[in-house]
Amino acid sequence: MSDIDRYGLLIPYSVIASYFDIKNCKIPNELTGFGFIILGTYRFLFLRQQVTDIFFIILILAVILIFYMLRLMGGGDVKFISTIIILMKWEETANWLIISILVQALFFILNRKEKLPFAPALTVGLIITGLGRW
């Protein structure tokens, strides 16, 4: 499957998660559960994974869990990121997360709030990463 197909699934899903994160400062478990099912099924049917991809994705998830344990991100963000990387290659995932962190830093500088939802920055990062792939 092409990058357009993958990002065509990921971006609308990410926009919906961002809506809930902005509105309630929480991403519903039902949404991430739905994402795991739909995106996981898509991956199983259409994408093949290299062993190195799996290793690096697990490594990236371990780093994300450290951020969660340090309370730098919420549990909903961890589940949301986990669903998104189901369809991403590890290089894309690393680029996406770096871009998203930079976008979140920009949001923080502009808003000067102590706590900001992370899903909108993840969505902007996903759009930028997707545009770079096309």
pLDDT in tens, the chain (134 residues): 577 888 999 999 999 999 999 999 999 999 999 999 999 898 888 887 677 777 888 898 899 999 899 988 899 999 999 999 988 888 889 999 999 999 999 999 998 887 889 999 999 999 999 998 76
Which pLDDT score is estimated for 134?
64
Which pLDDT score is estimated for 113?
80
Domain boundaries, the chain: 3-133
**Burial annotation 5-42 (CB, 10 A radius, 16+ → b, else e):** ebbebbeebbebbbbbbeeeeebeeebbeebeeebeeb
Which pLDDT score is estimated for 1?
59
Q: How buried is 56 (Cβ within 10 angstroms: 0-12 exposed, 13-18 middle, 19+ buried)? A: middle
